[in-house]
């Protein structure tokens, strides 16, 4: 029915036509909600229309999950062209023929019952399935698919995910498999391979490392990537593979693999094809059956979703790394001072969060030290941290003010611009006292943990002060400066609460642990002191982000400590 006819009939007449059709009609939105199903369509899947309309497909028909019909519908949503299917729908005990097409974000499916078993044309499309021989075989397939899903969500590392998908494929579907992913620039990306027989894994590695790309034997792969459909090669012809085998070593490895047939299934998620799963049979093993093709398509779909999540997480990781390099810059080493910094994120793959450090020289020769913590340890916290750090750095460099004055001006900017982020912060200013190596430490704290002074003899002094409000609060109370004289050899340690509260430790207990660890590290070079302090307190993964900044005074004419 064309569009002009639809307009002429009107919606009520169209609905009446659909309701009386002998052919089933099903319409699914992007969230897999059943927007419409006519009585014939509901009957074909063993339900009444009122039970299905307005409900999610998995919720309304839980028995469909894992069947070839469900796999087909998932596949059809990622394909721009009409997709045919024919197979046995076990929950209703019927052979069905279906066609699905994506129109305006809605998946429109037509269904009808057929008494004919699938023929060769449907076999070529890879969309058929024999009725299960028994319930045990069906349960075994569902168990395998569940294992694929559970295994693939266990990691967010793209290379590890690709390797797991290849291993899962050889466990049931083929003799050896290759997962090939496209790079971010569209060129070749990561690749993983597996062979079910460990004795042949060296030959597989030799072949894959030595084969020549673009030698004419990848036509099937290109076809699968372009069409989004699985491609089956029922007989591998050696003369077509030969141009890609440049040396006798590679040719010998290929012969030992005894490859006879191939099935290539695209890896596609969120409307993008970004790789392929190639499954190869060897020796006397026959080409993939229609049931195996259906299972392989579902394995690739589940694997593609996990791989795409890993790819997206990898992009976020690269953003975080870029933020880290731009915001957590290495400190300059002023005359008479050693400065060392450390940052350890809470998440194992997240490289930046809300904690930060900073150290820079002012035009009058003083050195500014900053340690701070925005709530959270994700990219949002990192973005807020970047704003606050940049504002504070610019204000502190602008004029030789005291730390309290700097924090007060930062308060005014944060509240005046309505940035809306709160943070703890400690700003310190180190002012040299001649060439003796002594200096004055002047600091002001916005709700941050107190500095620690470590003397050369190992004694530790907590430079505690009355608590003051967080940075970014709009309160009239003035901020306060504090100062202490530092002698050559004195070390000052600034830190965030992730170091104190590691292991779910309370603040008092955590401070006691930190102060107890520092005496035996007092005579170490500053870089080693930071490393061993973290190793001593944070064994393994951190519970929260940790920033650490240490500074040590030494005589102006002495060599800096290593």
For 485-514, what is the mean pLDDT?
A: 92
pLDDT value for 443: 97
Whether residues 153 and 119 fall in one domain: no
Query: Which tokens belong to 191?
Result: 């690749």
Comparing 240 with 208, which gets the higher pLDDT? 208
Token pair for residue 159? 């290379």
The yes-or-no verdict on residue 558 having pLDDT over 80 is: no
What mean pLDDT is reported for the chain?
Answer: 84
Is residue 26 within 8 A of residue 36, CB to CB? The reply is: yes
pLDDT at residue 63, rounded to an integer: 81
| Confidence label for 14 from pLDDT (cuts 50, 70 and 90) | low
Of 148-157, 169-178, 343-352, 531-540, give the lowest mean pLDDT range: 343-352
In a domain, 559, yes or no: no
Domain identity same for 351 and 467: yes
Query: What per-residue confidence (pLDDT) applies to 463?
Result: 96
> Per the structure block, which two tokens stand in for 478?
């003035």
Token pair of 265 as six digits: 């299934």
pLDDT confidence band for 162 (50 / 70 / 90): very high
Asked whether residue 350 carries a pLDDT value surpassing 60, the answer given is no
Same domain, 385 and 516: yes
CB 488 within 8 A of CB 478: no
- The verdict on residue 121 lying in a domain is yes
Residue where a domain stops, chosen among 125, 152, 181: 125
Does a structural domain hold residue 35?
A: yes
Model pLDDT for residues 501-555, shown as the tens digit of each residue: 887 788 999 999 999 999 999 999 999 999 999 999 987 777 788 899 999 998 5
Domains: count for the chain:
3
81 has a pLDDT exceeding 60 = yes
Q: Look up residue 552 and give its two tokens.
A: 């040590």
DSSP state of 507: H
Spatial separation of the C-alpha atoms in residues 163 and 147, rounded to whole Å = 15
Burial of residue 30 (CB within 10 Å: 0-12, 13-18, 19+) is exposed
d(CA 150, CA 173): 18
Rounded CA separation 112/98 (Å): 7
Q: pLDDT-based confidence at 346, cuts 50/70/90?
A: confident
DSSP letters along 17-45, please?
HHHH-SSEEEEE-TT-BEEEE-HHHHHHT
Residue 292 covered by a domain:
yes
Cα dihedral 69, 74, 77, 81, rounded to 10, equals: -50
Residue 421: is its pLDDT beyond 70? Answer: yes
% of the chain beyond a pLDDT of 90: 46
- The span from the first CA to the last CA of the chain, in angstroms, equals 82
Q: How confident is the model at residue 182 (pLDDT cuts 50, 70, 90)?
A: confident
Instruction: Identify the bridge partners of residue 548 per DSSP, sorted by sequence position.
Output: 342, 495
Rounded Cα–Cα distance for residues 18 and 40 (Å):
9
Token output for 378: 């994700």
- In the predicted model, what is the mean pLDDT of residues 347-374? 84
> Which CATH number belongs to the domain containing residue 145 in this structure?
3.30.450.40
Residue closest to 491 by CA, chosen among 465, 530, 464? 530
CATH code at 479? 3.60.40.10
What is the rounded distance in angstroms from the CA atom of residue 478 to the CA atom of residue 398? 20
Mean pLDDT of 231-240: 86
Question: Would the pLDDT of 70 be above 50?
Answer: yes
Q: Is the pLDDT of residue 13 over 90?
A: no
Residue 502 is part of which domain span?
328-553
Same-domain pairing of 309 and 354: no
pLDDT-derived band at 324 (thresholds 50, 70, 90) equals low
> Do the strands 231-233 and 259-269 form a parallel or antiparallel pair, or are they unpaired?
antiparallel
pLDDT at 559 over 80: no
The per-residue pLDDT for 154 is 82
Residue 155: pLDDT band (50, 70, 90) is confident
Residue 561 and residue 552 in contact, taking contact as beta carbons nearer than 8 Å: yes
User: What per-residue confidence (pLDDT) applies to 555?
Assistant: 59
Q: Give the CATH number for residue 55.
A: 3.30.450.20
* 156 and 81 part of one domain: no
d(CA 545, CA 541): 10
Q: 15: closest CA among 29, 31, 32, 35?
A: 35
Residues in the chain: 562
User: Mean pLDDT across the stretch 17-42?
Assistant: 89
Residues 268/227, Cβ–Cβ less than 8 Å = no
For the CA atoms of 183, 188, 189, 191, what is the dihedral angle to 10 degrees?
Answer: 150
How high is the pLDDT of residue 142? 80
pLDDT value of residue 210? 92
Q: How confident is the model at residue 499 (pLDDT cuts 50, 70, 90)?
A: very high
Q: In what order do the strands lie in the sheet with 423-432?
A: 355-361, 367-374, 423-432, 439-446, 482-486
Report the C-alpha gap between 43 and 360 in whole angstroms: 74
Task: Single out the residue in 267, 298, 318 at which a domain terminates.
Answer: 318
259-290 pLDDT, tens per residue? 999 999 999 888 888 999 999 999 999 999 98
Residue 556 has pLDDT above 60, yes or no: no
Beta carbons of 23 and 37 less than 8 angstroms apart: no
- At 111-136, the pLDDT tens digits run 998 865 544 434 334 444 444 444 56
CA dist list (Å): 209 to 193, 206, 213, 245, 422: 11, 5, 10, 11, 53
Does 171 lie in the same domain as 311? yes
Is residue 558 a part of any domain in this protein?
no
* 80 & 158 share domain: no
Mean pLDDT for 480-495 is 96
Residues 418 and 451 in one domain: yes
Question: In terms of domains, do 64 and 114 share one?
Answer: yes
Please report the pLDDT score of residue 121 as a whole number: 39
Of the two residues 88 and 52, the one the predictor is more confident about is 52
Q: Can you give the pLDDT at residue 370?
A: 96
Local confidence band at 221 (pLDDT 50, 70, 90 cut-offs): confident
The reply to whether 562 falls in a domain is no
Same domain, 484 and 544: yes
The whole-number average pLDDT for the span 390-404 is 92
Q: What is the pLDDT of residue 528?
A: 96
Q: What are phi and psi of 139, to 5 degrees?
A: -65, -35
The answer to whether residues 421 and 500 belong to one domain is yes
Domain boundary among 103, 125, 147: 125
In this prediction, residue 135 carries a pLDDT of 56
Contact 241, 217 (CB under 8 A): yes
């Amino acid at each position: 029915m064309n569009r002009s006819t639809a307009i002429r009939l009107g919606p009520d007449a169209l609905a009446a036509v659909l309701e009386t059709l002998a052919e089933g009609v099903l319409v699914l939105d992007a969230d897999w909600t059943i927007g419409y199903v006519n009585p014939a369509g509901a009957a074909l899947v063993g339900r009444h229309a009122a039970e299905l309309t307005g409900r999610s497909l998995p919720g309304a028909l839980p028995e469909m999950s894992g069947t070839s019909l469900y796999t087909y519908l998932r596949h059809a949503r990622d394909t721009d062209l009409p997709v045919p299917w024919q197979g046995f729908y076990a929950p209703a005990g019927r052979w069905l023929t279906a066609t699905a097409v994506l129109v305006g974000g809605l998946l429109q499916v037509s269904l009808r019952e057929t008494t004919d078993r699938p023929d060769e044309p449907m076999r070529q499309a890879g969309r058929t399935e024999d009725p299960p021989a028994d319930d045990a075989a069906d349960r075994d397939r569902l168990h395998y698919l569940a294992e694929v899903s559970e295994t693939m969500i266990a990691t967010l590392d793209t290379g590890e995910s690709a390797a797991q998908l290849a291993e899962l494929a050889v466990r049931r579907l083929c003799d050896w498999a290759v997962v090939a992913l496209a790079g971010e620039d569209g060129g070749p990306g990561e690749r993983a391979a597996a062979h079910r027989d460990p004795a042949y894994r060296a030959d597989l590695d030799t072949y894959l490392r030595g084969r020549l790309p673009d030698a004419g034997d990848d036509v099937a792969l290109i076809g699968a990537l372009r069409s989004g459909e699985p491609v089956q090669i029922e007989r591998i012809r050696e003369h077509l593979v030969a141009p890609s085998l440049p040396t006798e070593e590679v040719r010998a490895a290929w012969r030992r693999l005894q490859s006879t047939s191939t099935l290539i299934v695209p890896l596609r998620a969120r409307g993008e094809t970004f790789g392929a799963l190639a499954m190869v049979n060897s020796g006397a093993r026959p080409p993939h059956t229609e049931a195996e093709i259906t299972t392989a398509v579902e394995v690739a779909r589940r694997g593609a979703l996990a791989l795409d999540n890993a790819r997206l997480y990898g992009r976020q990781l690269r953003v975080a790394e870029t933020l880290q390099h731009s915001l957590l810059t290495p400190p300059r080493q002023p005359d008479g001072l050693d400065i060392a910094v450390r940052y350890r994120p809470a998440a194992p793959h997240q490289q930046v969060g809300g904690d930060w450090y900073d150290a820079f020289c002012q035009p009058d020769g003083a050195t500014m030290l900053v340690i701070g913590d925005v709530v959270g340890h994700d990219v949002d916290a990192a973005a807020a941290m970047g704003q606050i750090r940049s504002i504070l750095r610019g204000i502190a460099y602008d004029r030789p003010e005291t730390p309290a004055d700097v924090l007060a001006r930062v308060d005014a900017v944060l509240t005046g611009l309505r940035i809306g982020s709160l943070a703890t912060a400690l700003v310190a200013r180190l002012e040299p006292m001649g060439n003796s190596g002594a200096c004055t430490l002047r600091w002001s704290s916005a709700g941050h943990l107190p500095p620690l002074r470590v003397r050369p003899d190992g004694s530790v002094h907590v430079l505690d002060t009355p608590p003051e409000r967080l940075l970014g609060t709009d309160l009239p109370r003035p901020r306060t400066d504090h100062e202490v004289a530092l002698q050559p050899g004195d070390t000052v340690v600034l830190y965030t609460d992730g170091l104190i509260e590691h292991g779910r430790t309370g603040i008092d207990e955590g401070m006691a642990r930190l102060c107890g660890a520092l005496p035996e590290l007092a005579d170490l070079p500053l870089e080693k002191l930071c490393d061993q302090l973290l190793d001593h307190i944070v064994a393994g993964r951190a519970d929260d982000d940790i920033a650490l900044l240490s500074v040590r005074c030494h005589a102006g004419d002495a060599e800096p400590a290593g």
